[in-house]
């Protein structure tokens, strides 16, 4: 009789340049969420993209964490006013991880920047700065100065989507910390949630594989609002393998 082992979930980190030398850094809340969902978190350093395939063979699932902007030429655009800081080492590393994970059907989830990375890696584009695209009078507040554990705006979840199976409400309220967003959706993904101003808040795979991309930050909410642990639990379930 096989027992189900706890799956290893690799979580991407980022390069923190605020110290004298760069550090690979990650918010602890991602680690706690994976542990609470029944997985074993493994923090992945920013490495050479050539190592992505071998690293993916060692883990059962992949979580792309939040962070800064993505270099616009990686999705075929020139920089525009409003673009923030980016790190092409991180961009190239995460894009490589995503592309190989997709080819091998490795369960993966992206949060905020991670959502955008998944879309870019699979051929989509981004809004470099939401106010440049959406009129300020029509825009929902997507980058408020409130704590990450506070709810902000509502989203509308597409009926029949995989995301709809994770939340009891079709219009949950989420937190929001981003100024970029998905624009053109990658061919292999489909929109599963939007905010009131039309900004894409979630993507998922068109086929049956587990590939979920969330623009909001459930890792900041689940301890206060337990329903937001559901995406992490879904990733862990998808990544489980018999031992």
Instruction: Provide the annotated active-site residues.
Output: 112, 217, 219
The span from the CA of 56 to the CA of 212, in Å, is 17
DSSP string across 125-177 = -EES-HHHHS-TTT----S-SS-TTS---BEEEPTTSTGGGT-S-SS-B----
Nearest 5°: phi and psi at 228?
Answer: -80, 0
Among candidate residues 114, 130, 117, the one with its CA nearest the CA of residue 81: 130
Torsion of CA 78, 81, 85, 90, to 10 degrees: -30
What are the respective helix, strand and coil percentages of the chain, to the nearest 5? Answer: 30, 20, 50
CA pair distance 13, 165, nearest whole angstrom = 29
Q: What is the DSSP string of 72-84?
A: GGGGT----TT--
Which residues, in sequence order, are CB contacts of 21 under 8 Å at separation 6+?
Answer: none
Query: Distance between CA 16 and CA 85 in Å, rounded?
Result: 12
Neighbours of 140 (CB within 10 A): 18
């Amino acid at each position: 009789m096989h027992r189900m082992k706890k799956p290893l979930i690799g979580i991407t980190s980022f390069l923190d340049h605020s110290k004298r030398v760069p550090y690979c850094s990650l918010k602890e809340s991602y680690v706690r969420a994976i542990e609470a969902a029944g997985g074993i978190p493994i923090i992945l350093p920013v490495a050479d993209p050539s190592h992505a395939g071998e690293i993916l063979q060692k883990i059962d699932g992949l979580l792309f964490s939040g962070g800064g902007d993505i270099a616009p030429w990686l999705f075929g655009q020139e920089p525009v006013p409003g673009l923030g800081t980016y790190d092409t080492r991180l961009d190239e590393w995460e894009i490589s991880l995503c592309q190989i994970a997709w080819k091998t059907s490795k369960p993966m989830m992206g949060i905020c920047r991670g959502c955008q990375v998944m879309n870019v890696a699979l051929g989509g584009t981004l809004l470099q700065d939401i106010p440049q695209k959406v009129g300020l009078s029509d825009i929902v507040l997507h980058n408020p100065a409130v704590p990450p554990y506070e709810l902000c705006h509502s989203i509308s979840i597409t009926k029949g989507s995989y995301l709809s199976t994770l939340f009891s409400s079709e219009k949950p309220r989420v937190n929001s910390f981003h100024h970029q967003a998905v624009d053109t959706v990658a061919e292999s993904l489909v929109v599963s949630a939007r905010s009131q101003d039309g900004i894409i808040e979630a993507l998922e795979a068109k086929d049956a594989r587990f590939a979920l991309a969330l623009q909001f930050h459930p890792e900041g909410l689940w301890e206060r609002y337990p329903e937001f642990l559901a995406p992490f639990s879904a990733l862990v379930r998808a990544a489980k393998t018999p031992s």
